[in-house]
Structure 1
Amino acid sequence: MSGNPLAAAEPWDLVADGYAEFGPSIMAPFSAHALELAGLSADSHVVDVAAGPGTLSLPAAERVARVTAIDFSEPMLQRLAEDARAAGLTNIEVSVGDGQALPFDDDQFDAGFSMFGLMFFPDRAKGFAELFRVLRPGAIAVVSSWAPVAESPLMRLMFGAFAAADQSIQEPRPNFLNLENPEVFATEMQTAGFAGVSIQRHTSALVFASSDEMWETMMRSSAPLVLMRRTVGEQVWAERAEIMRAYLAENYRPNMPLSTTAFLGIGHKPNR
């Protein structure tokens, strides 16, 4: 099992509303690119594994027949369902479940996605194998993972703020044993059975009107910050929050673009 606290549902449950409100500013461009890569048709039935609040599921539902969204965080899926109803989308089905043991039949979907979800699975091999199993022969899969933090000025600034408040939190070093390594990414998809695997790098940038806006986005949508707050208590949290806000005020210029980079793994389930 993974020791990564982000492999558990609780921190994601706690940030569901903030993640749905602020997360798309960072995540949506990568989901849009994944949908373009998939080349979906109007009669497609797709599965979105670790769907969160629907950053991919909601736009996908506007172009396909059906979307099945699964996540282990029920509050995330509740927010997805609420936003689907508000948008008049009636072709999204939500399911609470584990992406390492999908509750679906074999050969069911025309395309499968996991946007920044499978990368956290305690057993990625099971995650890739389950995604492969539920796809129809000829179906496409698109899975995303962040590139090393060192390649993303947005994440470097965020981790700089974390470290200013708590010196035990340092910018993560590149981990060449996980999906930050394109060779590992491709090998894991191929081992699951996917053919024609390619790993594409995609970069997106966003701006904030002020350092306060950036702080609000981080505070409302960041699972690591929620974990910090619950761990240290409100008094220490207030002290650390002030330090992080001051760090951002000193290091972020209003409307300065901050880029972040991800890898998208694309593969097909071979025709029998």
Structure 2
Amino acid sequence: MMELLSQASAWDAVAIDYDRVNRQFMLEFSRSALKSISLQANWRVLDVACGPGTTSLYLSEFVDQVDAVDFSPKMIQVLKRNIKAEHIDNIFPMEANGQDLPFDESRFDLVVSMFGLMFFPERLQGLREIYRVLKPGAPVVLSSWALAEKSSFMQTLGAAFAFFHDEEATGGAFPWSETADIKSDLDQVGFNSVQIEEVYHEFEVGPIDRFWANIVKGSAPLVDRKQRMTPEEWGGCENRALEYLKSHLHEESVLGTTAWIITAHRD
């Protein structure tokens, strides 16, 4: 699964639905991540692996300029659409690889990457690039998903995905799911004052059929798997997954997931 999620085409395939399905829930994590940062009105901020712009849109209310980069052309298109719809004039989206940022050194007062850098094939290179473009002493805010044992949502999805008999869909532990690995990487690059906070948010499932349909549309591994199956194969697996969900959940069920929120500073 990690190899798939490091490809722009995987995110292109789900960009529109990913934004529609996930924005409100992901916004809760962005708010939690940034609450410890005293955002300044004159700041220039970089959002790395910005996706459809959930964090960029939030930041635009508090700072002078947000540069938003993502390697997925479709995600950048969705962000541009969102910028236009919300009449925002201080977000500047750009298609770019976070492992080779198109900015000079020491340009930004803050760099953010919410659930993005964790999927980079070369995370250390991504961190080095963030370090390079940060101003001396400036903060970075990152996030990653914790182990599934801390997340009823991840556990439920893992059980449902298992019916598709595909390692690409079911995957394993996310990169950076262990705090020791996170701190080791940031220390190696030279960041200081590394802090890692456990943050938990939850949501009500609602109608199970709608819940599952949204999961499929917004999940890059499942969309990829569906494209590689016959309609009959997909239908059989999907029916079994739905049977499982309906036997374990109801409309009022609440699921939650845990993330690591990481803050650090450039020397």
TM-score (norm 2): 0.95
More displaced stretch, 7-16 vs 31-40: 31-40
1:221 matches 2:204: no
> Given that residues 200 and 265 in structure 1 are in contact (C-alpha distance below 8 angstroms), is that contact kept between their aligned partners in structure 2?
yes
1:206 to 195, 198, 203: 203
Gap runs ≥5 in structure 2: none
1:116, distance to aligned residue in structure 2 (A): 0.7
CA deviations on 1:36-86 (whole Å, 9 max, x unpaired) are 122211111100000000110111111111101000001111111111111
SS where residue 180 of structure 1 aligns? coil
CA 1:163/1:46 → structure 2, altered by over 3 Å: closer, same or farther?
same
What corresponds to 2:48 in structure 1?
49
* 1:1-272 mapped onto 2 (5 Å cutoff): 4-166=3-165, 174=173, 178-270=175-267
> Given that residues 4 and 168 in structure 2 are in contact (C-alpha distance below 8 angstroms), is that contact kept between their aligned partners in structure 1?
no
> Given that residues 168 and 225 in structure 2 are in contact (C-alpha distance below 8 angstroms), is that contact kept between their aligned partners in structure 1?
no
CA deviations on 1:237-266 (whole Å, 9 max, x unpaired) are 222222222221121121211110011111
Q: Where in structure 1 do 4 or more consecutive aligned residues deviate above 4 Å? A: 167-175
1:32, distance to aligned residue in structure 2 (A): 1.1
SS where residue 122 of structure 1 aligns? coil
1:234, distance to aligned residue in structure 2 (A): 2.8
How far apart, in 2, do the equivalents of 1:139 and 1:230 lie? 43
How far apart, in 1, do the equivalents of 2:45 and 2:252 lie? 36
TM-score (norm 1): 0.93
How far apart, in 2, do the equivalents of 1:80 and 1:147 lie? 27
1:172, distance to aligned residue in structure 2 (A): 5.3
RMSD value over aligned CA atoms?
1.8
1:185, distance to aligned residue in structure 2 (A): 0.3
Q: 2:264 corresponds to which letter in structure 1? A: G
CA 1:268/1:3 → structure 2, altered by over 3 Å: closer, same or farther?
closer
SS where residue 137 of structure 2 aligns? strand
CA deviations on 1:187-230 (whole Å, 9 max, x unpaired) are 21121121101111111101121211211220111111111111
How far apart, in 2, do the equivalents of 1:14 and 1:163 lie? 22
Q: How many residues align?
A: 267
Gap runs ≥5 in structure 1: none
SS where residue 185 of structure 2 aligns? helix
CA 1:23/1:39 → structure 2, altered by over 3 Å: closer, same or farther?
same
1:171, distance to aligned residue in structure 2 (A): 5.9
> Given that residues 71 and 97 in structure 2 are in contact (C-alpha distance below 8 angstroms), is that contact kept between their aligned partners in structure 1?
yes
> Given that residues 140 and 267 in structure 1 are in contact (C-alpha distance below 8 angstroms), is that contact kept between their aligned partners in structure 2?
yes
> Given that residues 143 and 266 in structure 1 are in contact (C-alpha distance below 8 angstroms), is that contact kept between their aligned partners in structure 2?
yes
How far apart, in 2, do the equivalents of 1:256 and 1:194 lie? 41
How far apart, in 1, do the equivalents of 2:200 and 2:255 lie? 10
Q: Sequence identity of aligned pairs in percent?
A: 34
1:170, distance to aligned residue in structure 2 (A): 8.5
How far apart, in 1, do the equivalents of 2:179 and 2:185 lie? 10
Q: 1:207 corresponds to which letter in structure 2? A: E
Q: 1:184 corresponds to which letter in structure 2? A: D
> Given that residues 148 and 173 in structure 1 are in contact (C-alpha distance below 8 angstroms), is that contact kept between their aligned partners in structure 2?
no
CA deviations on 1:2-58 (whole Å, 9 max, x unpaired) are 961110011100100000101124321111112212221111110000000011011
1:174, distance to aligned residue in structure 2 (A): 4.6
> Given that residues 149 and 171 in structure 1 are in contact (C-alpha distance below 8 angstroms), is that contact kept between their aligned partners in structure 2?
no
1:129, distance to aligned residue in structure 2 (A): 0.5
